[in-house]
Structure 1
Amino acid sequence: MTTLFIILIILVSVILAFFVLIQNPKGGGLSSGFAGGSNLMGVQRTGDFLEKGTWTLVIALMVFSLAINILGPSSGSNTGGLSNQIEAPAQAPSLNLNAPAPAQQGAPAKPDSAK
């Protein structure tokens, strides 16, 4: 079932990319100076079809994405996923404030000759 949703998501994503690339940009930008001759009869209908198709594909992509999360194998069973890969953190050493500080290794302390 998960494989079916993954295939549908990939298919819808590719078709959605083509729909978006085919559409004429509605904002001005750089293309506004060159788009003067492209406004022929019937362009509005094509735009409506592409816009409705884009919205339909976006909604289908969201539904398939939610469905793969809800119906996926990690929803009810604990067979895989990230939860099995995460280990419990190790216990941090307890902090005892009354214990003497450990001796530091290194250069010996210099006597204080300021007095």
Structure 2
Amino acid sequence: MYIFLSILIVIASLILIGAVLIQKSKGGGLASDYSSGNQYLGYRKTTDFIEKATWTLAIFICIMSICASFAVKTPVNVSNIQNAAPAPNSAAPAPVNVPAAPAAPATPAK
């Protein structure tokens, strides 16, 4: 489900990019110097449709993002950290073979 919602979000984002790029300039910022050339290139109904499509796509992306966050399966909180002290064992640890210290040489009695 998460993958399906992610694909919908990506497709809507690409369409939104296209809708923003084809919108008619409102005349502000850098576009204010060149706005006189853009006034004759569009119809009013087309501009209204593109603006409504932009808002609709933006709202759709927001809603799908929220739905996708609920679709993610949360992992069960299981700690893999072991206790610092080892668990008590009923069996005693095996003895380690350590060579005995060499005996002192015997000195002959005089």
| TM-score relative to the length of structure 2 | 0.61
RMSD: 2.4
- Report deviation, 1:70: 1.4
1:36 Cα deviation after fit:
1.6
Structure-2 separation of matches of 1:57 and 1:50: 10
In structure 1, the residue matched to 2:52 is 52
2:15 is aligned with 1:11: no
Matches within 5 A, 1:1-115: 1-40=1-40, 43-74=43-74, 78=75
Gap regions ≥5 residues in structure 2: 82-110
Change (3 A) 1:31 1:73: same
Q: Deviation per CA, 1:17-52, whole angstroms, max 9, x where unpaired?
A: 111111122133332232324323852111101110
Aligned residues: 80
Within 2, Cα distance between the matches of 1:12 and 1:19? Answer: 10
User: 2:35 corresponds to which letter in structure 1?
Assistant: A
Q: How far apart in 2 are the matches of 1:50 and 1:16?
A: 10
TM-score by length of 1: 0.58
Amino acid at match of 1:68: A
Structure 1: gaps spanning 5 or more residues: 88-115
| Rg comparison, structure with higher value | 2
Distance change >3 Å, CA 55–CA 8, structure 1 → 2: same
- The share of aligned pairs that are identical, in percent, is 38
Q: Which ranges of 4 or more aligned residues in structure 1 deviate by more than 4 Å? A: none
